[in-house]
């Protein structure tokens, strides 16, 4: 059939990058005798005709040819062809209902997903045939299709039962069990027989532990109500059978002990020297995070999802994973533990310490993952502080004092991640390595994000940052070193010695019209308050700049640097024409009662936004309510007008919080300033403290965000209920 490719008008069809006249060439190349040509062809097809899971007209037109290739025993890489067919069908089945509801457009695009899904169902018998193929690669690629494309639940259940009996490989058997679970969720008629099968498998002493564990997990996924007090202990027992602890003589023969056995990983490619270090690292991290190091990992990820908010059960399971004799299971458990800690509240001391135990001197690959996870936990990483410090110190004494710049890339990354995590806890033992970074210029970008946590070391850090800021070429749109990052670090360190350098940086950025640089550097300068008064002659002229953001930042700096109402308020009044100039609104709040002249304008902005939000809700509009405007304006109204504004401030804050959880920190900060006037917020404060999930997880720093919100809520609660002041929120 491959010879019929030219009968299709490919140029009139499309893929992700335009006309699909290159698709027939890829299809021909998929049957080439040259494996490199075949690999390139499959890559091109996935990248264009199935780009990011999207199905195109050329994708559909390719299906008959792909099925013909899969049916032909002479086709090389038949398993790859069947896997490609499965990928197309899976995307179509997953998307058909969503696409029909959201798009609802007429024409080809409105039916392409359901049409493709139906075409795959019409070829369900092909997948039945592939599942019995002598080639194990073809069988493996076809198994999932039995659960996706057969609508006869009784037949599909029987086929999968038979398939399990025929397969001896662990990956194939696990895939059969997972496919049965997926089908049970898709076809109601399959649910009961599937659960009976899972029960029998999970309880069978003659079945291998891998399959029993898979059956137990997928029963939990399909029937969460079946999870009881014995589910996790049983799973742990099976996991121990899957990965038995080595005998002492085996440990001795290997020359290592217990957790010292390193995790095997593919050699990482050398970074492109022409790509900025932070960019190369971001892509390397993305690729690394997608790796799976143990066959049980997908199963355990699914199990954690099924366990949901059962923190104690998940902690027990993760403790077993993190102590596993299998280094792959240990490695993958690090990220699972991080996800639990960052998403659900609770006492995570045990898990944090176990992650710290993964800082293995002889396994830099695992240690880097553990250190990176600890660095994301903010104050919750405290129980691992000494483990981090010991790891960093050992590197500097055992390997070399400048371990931060080690020529061994994996060790260097592990050391750097541990230093950053240690610095995040404000620990001065991170300082020597950070100084190495700044002095040698080795991955200094990573150190920049950590130095601000060590204000007690400002005397050593500030001069180095000043020198770097002075070397920035502001004529370049993207300088090698970000002046914004440098300015932010200097502001966090808080040493007024930096004021002249920041002033010069503002002047240089303005001279070269680099407004995105000038604005944040101005804000950094303003953070020094009246200690930066020497910069006023530079700042004042910028209050007339054409760029609104720069003009606003300059007005804020004028206020912070001299604290004179008569100079700041007239500048402010001109900036409030824009309802969403949040920096100007916040400036009004910082000025406080002396900015009373802008109260009418702030009330007007608030009323207009409340009315707009009400119209959106009444009309069922798809436009999201503007919660941030409510928060900024309500906070400023309180800070200026005080108790006289409470009746409009509290409802606005609570509405914003209800609509958008990412506003929580700003909302509770204002409620905290309101004292007794915040009493109407008490039910919402109590509800926020009772919920098991951490706050909005879409943004970076989610743990620090949630800890701050939680602590502030407890302060408000204690004040309103006349309770003792709470201790700082941390672990536990």
| Residue 132 DSSP code | T
Cβ atoms of 456 and 288 within 8 Å: the answer is no
Cβ atoms of 77 and 38 within 8 Å: the answer is yes
Of the pLDDT bands very low, low, confident and very high (cuts 50, 70, 90), residue 110 is low
Determine the Cα angle at 218 with ends 215 and 222, to 5°.
135
DSSP 244-286: PPPPHHHHHHHT--GGGSPPP-PPPPPPPTTS-HHHHHHHHHH
What is the H or E stretch that residue 419 is in?
A: helix 409-424
Of the pLDDT bands very low, low, confident and very high (cuts 50, 70, 90), residue 108 is very low
- Name beta bridge partners: 693: 344
pLDDT at 307 exceeding the cut of 90: yes
- Name beta bridge partners: 19: 14
The Cα 314–Cα 348 span in angstroms is: 11
Q: What is the pTM of this model?
A: 0.86
pLDDT at 2 exceeding the cut of 70: no
pLDDT digits (tens, 9 = 90+) for 634-659: 999 999 999 999 999 999 999 999 99
Q: What is the pLDDT of residue 53?
A: 87
pLDDT digits (tens, 9 = 90+) for 3-24: 678 888 999 999 999 999 999 9
The Cα 58–Cα 45 span in angstroms is: 10
Of the pLDDT bands very low, low, confident and very high (cuts 50, 70, 90), residue 174 is very high
pLDDT digits (tens, 9 = 90+) for 327-382: 999 999 999 999 999 999 999 999 999 999 999 988 999 999 999 999 999 999 99
Of the pLDDT bands very low, low, confident and very high (cuts 50, 70, 90), residue 557 is very high
Q: Which stretch of 352-361, 386-395, 479-488 has the lowest confidence by average pLDDT? A: 479-488
67, 79, 139, 308, 445 from 117: Cα distances, Å: 14, 20, 21, 31, 48
Per the prediction, the chain carries an average pLDDT of 90
pLDDT at 667 exceeding the cut of 80: yes
The Cα 222–Cα 30 span in angstroms is: 38
Average pLDDT for residues 514-537, to the nearest whole number?
A: 96
Of 602, 538, 547, the closest CA to residue 569 belongs to 602
Long-range contacts of the stretch 533-541 (C-beta < 8 A, 24+): 533/561, 533/562, 534/499, 534/500, 534/503, 535/499, 535/502, 535/503, 535/506, 535/561, 536/561, 536/562, 538/503, 538/506, 538/507, 539/506
- Name beta bridge partners: 18: 15
Handedness of CA 47, 52, 54, 55 (dihedral sign): positive
Of the pLDDT bands very low, low, confident and very high (cuts 50, 70, 90), residue 708 is very high
pLDDT at 696 exceeding the cut of 70: no
Q: What is the pLDDT of residue 99?
A: 59
Average pLDDT for residues 169-186, to the nearest whole number?
A: 91
Average pLDDT for residues 205-224, to the nearest whole number?
A: 94
Q: What is the pLDDT of residue 264?
A: 66
Cβ atoms of 315 and 348 within 8 Å: the answer is yes
Of 474, 571, 457, the closest CA to residue 521 belongs to 474
């Amino acid at each position: 059939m491959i010879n019929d490719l030219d009968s299709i008008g490919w140029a009139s069809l499309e893929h992700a990058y335009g006309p699909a006249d290159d698709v027939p060439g890829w299809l021909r190349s998929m049957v080439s005798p040259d494996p490199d040509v075949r690999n390139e062809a499959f890559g091109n097809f996935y990248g264009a005709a199935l780009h990011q899971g999207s199905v195109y007209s050329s994708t559909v037109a390719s299906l008959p040819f792909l099925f013909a290739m899969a049916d032909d025993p002479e086709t090389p890489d038949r398993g790859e062809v069947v896997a490609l067919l499965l990928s197309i069908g899976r995307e179509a089945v997953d998307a058909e209902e969503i696409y029909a509801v959201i798009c609802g457009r007429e024409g080809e695009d409105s039916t392409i997903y359901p049409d493709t899904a139906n075409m795959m169902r019409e070829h369900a018998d092909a997948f039945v045939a592939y599942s019995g193929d002598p080639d194990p690669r073809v069988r493996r690629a076809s198994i999932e299709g039995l659960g996706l494309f057969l609508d006869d639940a009784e037949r599909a259940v029987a086929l999968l039962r038979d398939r399990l009996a025929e397969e001896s490989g662990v990956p194939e058997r696990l895939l059969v069990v997972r496919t049965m679970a997926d089908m049970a969720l898709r076809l109601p008629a399959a649910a009961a027989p599937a659960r009976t099968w899972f029960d029998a498998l999970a309880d069978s002493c003659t079945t291998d532990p891998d399959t029993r564990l898979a059956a137990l997990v997928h029963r939990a996924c399909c029937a969460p109500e079946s999870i009881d007090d014995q589910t996790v202990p049983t799973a742990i027992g099976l996991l121990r059978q899957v990965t038995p602890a080595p005998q002492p003589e085996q440990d001795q023969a290997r020359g290592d002990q217990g957790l010292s056995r390193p995790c095997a990983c593919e050699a990482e490619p050398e970074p492109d020297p022409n790509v900025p270090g932070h960019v190369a690292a971001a892509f390397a991290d993305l690729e690394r995070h997608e790796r799976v190091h143990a066959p049980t990992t997908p199963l355990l990820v699914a199990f954690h999802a099924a366990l949901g908010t059962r923190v104690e059960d998940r902690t027990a399971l993760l403790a077993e994973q993190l102590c596993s004799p299998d280094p792959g299971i240990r490695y993958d458990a690090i990220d699972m533990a991080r996800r639990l800690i960052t998403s659900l509240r609770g006492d995570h001391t045990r898990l944090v310490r176990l992650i710290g135990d993964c800082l293995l001197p002889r396994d830099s690959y695992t240690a880097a993952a553990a250190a990176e996870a600890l660095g994301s936990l903010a104050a919750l990483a405290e129980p691992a502080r000494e483990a981090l410090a010991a790891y960093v110190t050992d590197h500097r004494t055992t390997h070399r004092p400048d371990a931060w710049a080690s020529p061994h890339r994996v060790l260097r990354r592990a050391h750097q991640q541990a230093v950053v995590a240690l610095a995040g806890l404000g620990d001065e033992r991170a300082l020597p390595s950070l100084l190495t970074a700044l002095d040698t210029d080795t991955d200094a970008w990573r150190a920049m994000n950590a130095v601000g946590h060590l204000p007690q070391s400002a005397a050593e850090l500030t001069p180095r940052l000043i020198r770097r800021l002075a070397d920035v070429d502001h004529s370049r749109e993207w300088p090698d070193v970000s002046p914004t990052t440098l300015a932010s670090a200097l502001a966090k360190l808080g040493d007024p010695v930096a004021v002249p350098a920041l002033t010069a940086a503002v002047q240089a950025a303005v001279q070269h019209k680099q407004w995105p640089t000038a604005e944040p550097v101005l804000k950094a300068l303003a953070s020094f308050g009246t200690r930066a008064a020497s910069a006023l002659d530079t700042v004042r002229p910028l209050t007339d700049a054409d760029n609104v953001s720069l003009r606003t930042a300059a007005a804020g700096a004028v206020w912070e640097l001299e604290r004179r109402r008569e100079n700041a308020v007239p500048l402010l009044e001109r900036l409030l024409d824009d309802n969403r100039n949040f920096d100007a609104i916040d400036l009004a709040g910082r000025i406080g009662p002396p900015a009373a002249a802008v109260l009418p304008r702030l009330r007007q902005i608030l009323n207009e936004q409340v009315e707009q939000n009400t119209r959106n809700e009444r009309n069922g509009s798809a436009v999201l309510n503007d919660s941030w405007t409510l928060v900024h304006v309500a906070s400023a109204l309180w800070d200026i007008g005080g108790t006289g504004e409470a009746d409009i401030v509290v409802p606005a804050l609570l509405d914003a919080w209800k609509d958008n959880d990412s506003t929580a920190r700003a909302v509770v900060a204002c409620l905290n300033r309101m004292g007794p006037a915040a009493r109407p917020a008490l039910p919402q404060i109590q509800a926020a403290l009772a919920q098991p999930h951490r706050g909005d997880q879409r943004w970076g720093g989610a743990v620090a965000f949630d800890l701050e919100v939680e602590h502030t809520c407890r302060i408000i609660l204690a004040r309103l209920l006349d309770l003792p002041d709470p201790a700082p929120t941390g672990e536990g």
